[in-house]
Structure 1
Amino acid sequence: MSIFGNNIFGNKAAGSIPAVGNADRPEAEKQKSDAEWRQELTPEEYHVLREAGTERPFTGEYWDTHTAGVYQCRACGAELFTSNEKFDSHCGWPSFWAPLAEGTVRYIHDRTLGMERVEVRCANCDSHLGHVFDGEGYGTPTDQRYCINSVSLRLVPREVEEDSATAS
């Protein structure tokens, strides 16, 4: 599957995947200090979002949620995924077959723990979200699985979205 004109899984020789969407990040999000992040986030949120940690499978708030809505970055509120692209992968973390729109996430080659993976980060605040895997055989339009930590996300149910839209 091609994302943004390049196959994100075929660029391993390049060393890293170009960041997409960082140019428009608010300056405040780019400049936030470690102390500010620690003050704003819970210890678990900080570990996952800022230190690229991982929550245990089958423990997160959204791994088995089927509520319609938009998933935002828990650190900055940027809209990242929707329930329309969420699917049951039975892996223990929320899984999506695509992000909300081009430029909402960025990709980094992750070679930690002796594995070749593609890390997914929020393009707005550079928080760690999870990883994306390709070619696992899921019956989705992209054959990709964005395996995202629940603690990285905040679900805004569709009813709340519609209520706030009519209130404006």
Structure 2
Amino acid sequence: MSPSPLPPPKIALTDDEWREKLTPEEFAVLRRGGTERPGVGEYTDTHTEGVYQCRACGAELFRSTEKFDSHCGWPSFFDPTHSDAVILRPDDSHGMRRVEVLCATCHSHLGHVFTGEGYLTPTDQRYCINSISLRLVPKP
């Protein structure tokens, strides 16, 4: 059974347009589904209050109030800002069964979400998100 098709993105650019807007590292993760190495992202251990936006399009994705220390090497959140801020889709790549997290506005790859890992969060979910997919706007 194949996954249902995604709704069209609200922001749709060509690969060349994305390459002009993003660094090569950002493009590799956001537009090609790559993953940054664990522990190297700028937001892994950040506790600054604010809003996390999609680095590609600026859509609000997560808030610092939903961020928690999972010690997994990537920023972790237990819930997106709005239920429609992200799209979840099955990901069976690399011999694993996972759930990919995409920005609902531009369909950029953000990371994966995991359930039932035993973290003491209200949702029992860990949105494991690449720092390079995010931009933190600190609370004024």
| Normalised TM-score (structure 2) | 0.96
Are 1:102 and 2:102 matched, yes or no?
A: no
Q: Which runs of 4+ in 1 moved over 4 A?
A: none
Please state which structure has a larger fraction of its residues in helix.
1
Paired residue total: 140
Partner of 1:91: helix, strand, or coil? coil
- Distance in 2, Cα, partners of 1:84 & 1:71: 11
For residues 115-148 of structure 1, what are the alpha-carbon distances to aligned partners after superposition, in whole Å with 9 as ceiling and x for unaligned?
0000000000000000000000000000000000
Which residue, 19, 37, 41 being the options, matches 1:38?
19
Segments of structure 1 that go 5 or more residues without pairing to the other structure are 1-13, 160-168
Aligned residue for 1:151, secondary structure, equals helix
Provide the C-alpha distance between the structure 1 equivalents of 2:43 and 2:79, rounded to a whole number of angstroms.
Answer: 16
Q: How does 1:85-96 map to 2 (within 5 A)?
A: 85-96=66-77
Aligned pair partner of 1:115 in 96, 99, 123: 96
Q: Deviations over 1:7-43 (max 9, x none)?
A: xxxxxxx543675xx46x53xx12x110000111000
Q: Percent identity?
A: 65
CA distance in 2, matches of 1:94, 1:157: 16
Q: Please give the alpha-carbon distance, in whole angstroms, between the structure 2 residues aligned to 1:153 and 1:137.
A: 25
Q: 1:51 is paired with a residue of what secondary structure?
A: coil
Q: Quick check: which one's strand share is greater?
A: 2
Partner SS for 2:72: coil
- State whether residues 117 and 131 of structure 1, in contact with CA within 8 Å, keep that contact through their aligned partners in structure 2: yes
Compute the RMSD of aligned alpha carbons.
Answer: 1.3
Question: Which of 78, 102, 107 does residue 59 from structure 2 map onto?
Answer: 78
1:145 correspondence with 2:126: yes
Aligned residue for 2:30, secondary structure, equals: helix
Indicate the SS of the match to 1:38: helix
Deviation at 1:102, TM superposition (A): 1.3
Q: State TM-score, norm by structure 1.
A: 0.80
SS, match of residue 138 in structure 1: coil
